[in-house]
Every structure is written in C-alpha cells, then in structure tokens.
Chain A
Amino acid sequence: MAKTIIPFGPQHPVLPEPLQLKLVMDEDTVVEAIPAIGYVHRGLEKLAELKDFNQTVYIVERVCGICSFMHSMAYVRGIEDIMGVVIPERAEFLRVIWAEIARIQSHLLYLGLIADGFGFESLFMETWKDREKILDVMEFTTGNRVIISANKVGGQTKDMTQEHFTAILKTMDEIEAKLKEYDKVFINNYSVKKRTVGIGYLSLEDVKEYAAVGPMARASGWAWDLRQTGYSAYKYLDFEPVVETGGDCHARNVVRIRETFQSIDLVRQAISKIPEGEIAVQVKGTPKGEVISRIEQPRGEAVYYIKGNGTKNLDRLRIRTPTFANIPTILKMLPGSQLPDVPIITLTIDPCISCTER
C-alpha cells in the first residue's frame, strides 16, 4: 500500500506561527513526522554583535512577543554577573512582580489557543477578554502593552507607586474570580475530555531521554522548576512546583491552569513584602568574560550564553529557548496517532516559533 505524505503546512488556522510538519500517513494513522522550521529567521544573534551592550537589551526583548519580559531579564542578569554588579532589593522584587504578571498573560493566551484548536470559539474569546485586563495593567504601570522595556543593566527604569499596587491587586481579584468560573470547562466538560484525555502520551522515561522542559516535563511527574533555586526575589517567596502524573494533553492543561493560580498568589505575596529603596545603581565599565544565565520562562527553561571581550560590543550571544528543546518530542508523540489529533498535540507543546528561530 503506497504511503501518502500530507504537509501540515506553514500556514494553518490553528497555529499562531509558521511551522511545517510533513506527515507520512498509512490510511488514517500517522507513521512518521518530520518538522521543518526557518520561516521567520531574522539573524538576531549577528545583530547583537554590532550594537552596544546597553542597546542589546532592546534587541533581546523583541525575540518573542509573548515571553518578552523574561528574555530581557535573563540577559540583564547575565551581564550583571559578569561585571559584578549587585542591584538593590526593591529592583529584584519589581522584576518578580512584572515577571509573574507576564506568566499569567502567557498562560491565558495558551488556554485561548487550545480552545480554538478544538473549535470552541466562545471559550477562546472569554480567556482573551481577561487577558486584556492584564495588558491594561502593563500599560498603566510601564507605558506599553506587550514589550515593556522596564529592565536595564543595573536595575529598573521605572518605579511603581501605591496607586499602581492597588490597581494590580484589584485586577488579580477580578481575574481569579473569572478563572474559577470557567476552569471547570477545561477540566470536567465531556466533549473537551473526549479530545484531550489519552492523547499525546509522554512517559517519564521519554521526558528524561528527550530532555523536555517546562510544563511538558511537570505534567509527566517530574518536579523540575528552576525557580526552586531561589534566584532574584524568589528566595523570599513561598511556593511548590505544580506536578501532575497523567502525561497526556489533559494533564498539561491542568498544570497550566494551576500555575496561573499560583502566579496570582505569588504576585500578592511579592506586593506585601516589597521593601523601600532605590531602583537602580550606576554601572561603569564594559563586560569581559563568559557566563551562562538561566531563567524559568512560561514555556520552560531558557539558557543564555554571553561572552564579552572588554569593548562595548559583545563577542557572542547565544540563546536556547524552551521550544527549541521541546520540538523533538513531537517525533515521539505523533507516530501512532490519528490525523484529527495532530493539531491538538502540536499545540500542547505551546510552540513559540519566533523564539526558536530568532
């Protein structure tokens, strides 16, 4: 029986960014899947060698539109470690507050896209309606909705007053109330469970062999969360990593919903513990040395390699994003599944292709 090859093409209504999968089919079952990327390559690693190390903060922020705050946070922490700069405590707490708000926004976007993936348009609109409230909070405190440019080498560029904190806490209460109304739809609804339970199974040995990161690993029973090491202001906050043991698409949805509730709690804790003080220190000199800087983004662990040679331009900047590490798991999950399940399985890794290709 001759095999057919179906291209799950770069343009697809379900995918937010272009990714091509060539599916080798046998009747209705997928036998093999070959990914092909490279549609949004912009060459940002080369551009970072031509600009000043202070101007590179603006380049690194624009690698991705959803996880943009955490990219600049990882870069700035790396440069501060090379130059030996210690920033004030208030700046660390401000970074954690903005980072957790960005994590809530990213998980609400994911929930909308997965609802759109199985055709549930009204649920998609409900989650994105709540995401608008978070973007209004970002505009109120920093000036822009998505790419906020609040980090610089040596601290933060903007401060928050008591009025800002009151607005943030009010928004957190509203979002928590709305989320409790419709998270039951993702977890208990009969039609949603028919499409997600038992689909795309990844066992614990597979997670360790393919080195998956983020909620993909935590949904199969491995409690690996980089925030446990206590970098930045996380050492003063109190939380446990969110773990499920199902290993299928349903468990990954549950992990992300529970992480949203956990982030709301972390924002409230950080606002109650923030100290007074300065927000930045003066930085003199240029970086010389090599460092590896890691951070926990909404999709997993991101690794930055920065090398400076004593002049204003950097020698090498290399970014490994979490989707770069999660794409090979598609090679394990897709063979053996049916054709209508392919979009759902591809969306549960939360692909951010512009991060992967820079």
Chain B
Amino acid sequence: MLPNMLLIENETFHFINKENLRNEIKKYKDDGYRMCSITCERLGEEEFELTYHMDLNYELTNLRLVGKYSEKIPSISHIFPSALLHENEYKDLFGIDFEDLLIDYKGNLYIPADGTKNPLR
C-alpha cells in the first residue's frame, strides 16, 4: 500500500485542538519529521477540519483539528516556513482566519479584489 494511505476513522488520526497545536508540531519537528501537506475540508455551516500530514521515512502520521470559522487559528509558519502558502490559500478559498503569518497576502493570493469571496465554503 505504500506510499498511499487509507484514512480510517479512529485508527489513523490523532486529534488535537488549537491550544496545543504549536507544541505538538514543534515536538514532531524535533524528532525529525518533515511537513508533507495541510488539507482542509468543510464539515457543515460553521465548522471545518484541518489535517496536518507529517512524514518520516516514507510513513505518514496525521493530526486533525476541528475549528469554527469565527475563531482564529495559530499559524505554524514560523516553525515550518513552507506552511505559509497552504495557510494563505485557505484564507482565500475558505475564509479561515490565521494569526501571525510569516507573509500575509490578506486574501488576495489567488482571487482578485473584485472576485467571488470564499468559493469553496
């Protein structure tokens, strides 16, 4: 099955919340993991879920976080600089509010100033 991975509920995730997000990611970075990708999916009218995929020696570990659109999520771009493009894209397409980004495009990365707002929500 490598390198693909089927995601099955309660078997292949660790659930975290936004308070200990930065500490968990820092622990994985110190162990030598590499950040593979961040995925976002809507869960209804008010909530979304973010999944952080970390990789070590071709095996993946997944961390899942459930949040609301009205709250701010801390950004991990000072720990892993390559996360800044993922987070700016979700700010554009879903309307999620990240705080403390390394470079902040303020919602204009893909969508111009007069385009549709939050097309994927």
Q: Is there a contact between chains A and B in the complex with CB atoms less than 8 Å apart?
A: yes
Q: State the A residues within 8 Å of B (CB).
A: 34, 36-38, 41, 43, 45-46, 77-78, 81-82, 208-211, 226, 228-231, 289-295, 303, 305, 307, 315-316, 318, 320, 324-325, 327-328, 331, 357
- Do residues B82 and A34 form an inter-chain contact, with CB atoms below 8 A? no
- Do residues A231 and B109 form an inter-chain contact, with CB atoms below 8 A? no
Known: A211-B34, A328-B84. 10 other contacts (CB 8 A): A34-B103, A38-B110, A78-B4, A81-B1, A231-B4, A291-B5, A292-B53, A303-B53, A316-B41, A328-B85
- Do residues A307 and B2 form an inter-chain contact, with CB atoms below 8 A? no
- Do residues A328 and B37 form an inter-chain contact, with CB atoms below 8 A? no
Interface residue from A231, A291, A303, A328 paired with B2 (Cβ < 8 Å): A231
- Do residues B2 and A230 form an inter-chain contact, with CB atoms below 8 A? yes
Minimum CB–CB distance from B45 to chain A (whole Å) comes to: 16
Q: A43-B119, A231-B2, A291-B6 are in contact. Are A303 and B37 (CB under 8 A)?
A: yes
- Do residues A294 and B82 form an inter-chain contact, with CB atoms below 8 A? no
Interface residue from B3, B36, B51, B111 paired with A231 (Cβ < 8 Å): B3
8 contacts between A and B (CB under 8 A): A38-B111, A38-B112, A46-B120, A78-B4, A290-B6, A292-B53, A303-B37, A320-B86
Instruction: Return the chain B residue nearest A294 by Cβ.
Output: B3
Residues from chain A with a CB closer than 8 A to the CB of B1 are 81
Residues from chain A with a CB closer than 8 A to the CB of B41 are 307, 315-316
Q: A41-B110, A291-B7 are in contact. Are A328 and B53 (CB under 8 A)?
A: no
B42-66 contact mask (Cβ, 8 Å, vs A): 1 or 0: 0000000001010000101000000
Minimum CB–CB distance from B75 to chain A (whole Å) comes to: 14
Minimum CB–CB distance from A321 to chain B (whole Å) comes to: 10
Interface residue from B81, B85, B105 paired with A324 (Cβ < 8 Å): B85
Instruction: Return the chain A residue nearest B58 by Cβ.
Output: A229
Minimum CB–CB distance from A92 to chain B (whole Å) comes to: 14
Give the distance in Å from the alpha carbon of A43 to the alpha carbon of B93 in the complex: 10
CB contacts under 8 Å to A, within B65-121, are: 80-82, 84-86, 103, 105, 108-112, 119-120
Residues from chain A with a CB closer than 8 A to the CB of B112 are 38
- Do residues B6 and A289 form an inter-chain contact, with CB atoms below 8 A? yes
- Do residues A292 and B81 form an inter-chain contact, with CB atoms below 8 A? no
Give the distance in Å from the alpha carbon of A316 to the alpha carbon of B41 in the complex: 7
Instruction: Return the chain B residue nearest A296 by Cβ.
Output: B3
- Candidate in B1, B51, B85 with the most chain A CB atoms within 10 angstroms: B85
Instruction: Return the chain B residue nearest A74 by Cβ.
Output: B4
Minimum CB–CB distance from A99 to chain B (whole Å) comes to: 15
Residues from chain A with a CB closer than 8 A to the CB of B120 are 45-46
- Do residues B119 and A46 form an inter-chain contact, with CB atoms below 8 A? yes
Give the distance in Å from the alpha carbon of A220 to the alpha carbon of B7 in the complex: 33
Minimum CB–CB distance from B40 to chain A (whole Å) comes to: 8
Instruction: Return the chain B residue nearest A208 by Cβ.
Output: B34
Interface residue from A38, A211, A325 paired with B109 (Cβ < 8 Å): A38
Minimum CB–CB distance from B106 to chain A (whole Å) comes to: 12
Instruction: Return the chain A residue nearest B36 by Cβ.
Output: A303
Give the distance in Å from the alpha carbon of A229 to the alpha carbon of B112 in the complex: 41
- Do residues A327 and B85 form an inter-chain contact, with CB atoms below 8 A? yes
- Do residues B110 and A357 form an inter-chain contact, with CB atoms below 8 A? yes
Minimum CB–CB distance from A22 to chain B (whole Å) comes to: 11
Give the distance in Å from the alpha carbon of A150 to the alpha carbon of B85 in the complex: 32
Interface residue from B4, B35, B109 paired with A294 (Cβ < 8 Å): B4
Give the distance in Å from the alpha carbon of A163 to the alpha carbon of B37 in the complex: 43
Interface assignment of B39: CB less than 8 Å from any CB of chain A:
yes
Residues from chain B with a CB closer than 8 A to the CB of A34 are 103
Give the distance in Å from the alpha carbon of A81 to the alpha carbon of B103 in the complex: 37
- Do residues B109 and A37 form an inter-chain contact, with CB atoms below 8 A? yes
The 5 closest A-B pairs by CB, nearest first: A290-B7, A41-B110, A229-B2, A320-B37, A294-B3
Instruction: Return the chain A residue nearest B5 by Cβ.
Output: A292
Residues from chain B with a CB closer than 8 A to the CB of A38 are 108-112
Q: A38-B110, A303-B37 are in contact. Are A210 and B81 (CB under 8 A)?
A: yes
Instruction: Return the chain B residue nearest A226 by Cβ.
Output: B3
Give the distance in Å from the alpha carbon of A78 to the alpha carbon of B105 in the complex: 32
Minimum CB–CB distance from B97 to chain A (whole Å) comes to: 20
